[in-house]
Structure 1
């Protein structure tokens, strides 16, 4: 609750950190003041999601695309959107040491790696002029393909910093300037309906999220962290046809 500034001290994407802070603040403001215990996993997985449905875990510490929840509404409480439609925007990140080559490519010649199991990502890029390269694997493995110049780029939500660059394990990536992609969905917290604490916790969460939204804290957090990035507000949306014409930034 003491966190009221969301400016990060390192370059990179910080969405999951911001979500974890907002989650705890919302629960507290909603009346659920017990300490939150996080059980870390090496990566998001089907088994982790199943644990929420089965009631073995109470909730996830990150938001989930609404599209991923359509088949599980009977088993999950779904919060109000944390990220509204049009707010999730991403760049096409290339390796800094390959930037000269990619700068000379047309969008239609650009190869972008994407996991077909990430349905919202896949849908967004399939409605753009780029050439999609399918890869089922870890996020880190896909980024390594960009670093090795096996593919030209990868779609990643924007970083903070003057150059919007991403530094991952000493390797540098930068977005192609003046183009971006909007992911056409909303993101939500989920709570298990079968967990004995589920009904109580979703009530506290929804109450707290309404307070945070009314106070402007959610929008402030997304902007200060760089997730909603004013530096890219004038950039061209390459899948514009998927969203309402009025959404430009």
Structure 2
């Protein structure tokens, strides 16, 4: 009987602990757990005030994991967040979110990718506003000639792009650039640049001071003095069909409004290198896609 009581007590304790956690899904192929933990360096994500990168590579995914937790807490959701890597979650597949099997995703998503699912998904206020997402045309570091290609010669350039990445695809199609369509892994596309099957690939700017992207020992740099604006906004999404969806969405949006008013969102995007001061004077390749107010700045 004693063991039965202990067993029941343990089960109750486990269930109580589980109820005190908020499970947030993240792509298993992009878990970022090592770099996320390195960035926190023992800190609570709620205590993060500086968003400068401490690791190489893209930093925005880690910052989103932190900002999501800060927004939820400020909005009244105080449970511990536990990240749950799921192979079924990818950039344009939201079946678990739509069915209610998943509650919330740790990554922001393009508004265009989920606009047809707004009946099943709550869409937060914008984390990245229209016009804030900038990217460079990355070429191999050894290709010195392409690094300084003048903008008026961009019609000579071949750039690999996935047509399923609709925002990237639309941005590139509003230029004179020659697009090579490829549906497949990001790494394979980058390898096409490495092997000179194509000249370049559209990638958000690296956080390094020289904008260098180092991937598996291979180095890539953006074509100098030109950049592209990806014409959409990015948002967190919450399932409407999950029992906790309405409550979590309300907390998330309340918190995002507070972070926006405090200037934390823009600060995080700037300090993380997502909005890069290094390219602020570079020229837009797709200038015509900017809102008039943005283009006039």
Per the shorter chain, which TM-score range?
over 0.9
C-alpha displacement of 1:242: 1.1
Counting helix residues as a fraction of each chain, which structure ranks higher? Answer: 2
C-alpha spacing 1:136/1:222, structure 2 compared with 1 (3 Å): same
Q: Which runs of 5+ in 2 are unaligned?
A: 1-45
Counterpart for residue 114 of structure 1: 161
Question: Match of 1:13?
Answer: 58
Q: Is 1:183 the counterpart of 2:220 in the alignment?
A: no
- Match status 1:161 vs 2:205: no
SS at match of 1:137: coil
Match of 2:127 among 68, 82, 94: 82
1:129 is the counterpart of 2:176: yes
Counting matched residue pairs gives 249
Distance 1:47 1:172 in 2: 28
Provide the C-alpha distance between the structure 2 equivalents of 1:216 and 1:176, rounded to a whole number of angstroms. Answer: 31
| Cα deviations by residue, 1:206-239 (Å, 9 ceiling, x for unpaired) | 0111111111111011000110011111111011
Any idea what the Cα deviations from partners look like across 1:156-215, whole Å, max 9, x if unmatched? Answer: 111122211111121111000111100111000000000001000000000111111111
1:4 aligned onto 2:11: no
Shift, 1:10, TM fit: 2.8
Q: Give the equivalent residue in structure 1 for 2:286.
A: 239
Relative contact order (alpha carbons < 8 A, sep ≥ 6): 1 or 2 greater?
1
Q: Hey, what's the Cα distance between the residues in 2 that align with 1:11 and 1:161?
A: 7
> So what's the TM-score if we normalise by structure 1?
0.95
Aligned residue for 1:151? 198
Greater shift, 158-167 or 41-50, is seen at 41-50
Q: 1:72 to 1:104 in 2, by over 3 A?
A: closer
How many Å apart are 1:101 and its aligned residue? 4.7
How far 1:146 moved relative to its partner?
0.9
Q: 2:208 aligns to what SS in structure 1?
A: coil
Q: How far 1:37 moved relative to its partner?
A: 1.8
Q: Which moved more, 1:186-195 or 1:62-71?
A: 62-71
Q: Which has the larger radius of gyration?
A: 2
Query: Could you report, residue by residue, the CA deviation over 1:58-79 in whole angstroms, capped at 9, with x for unpaired residues?
Result: 0111011111111101000000
Greater Cα shift, 103-112 or 186-195 = 103-112
Query: Which segment is superposed worse, 1-10 or 118-127?
Result: 1-10
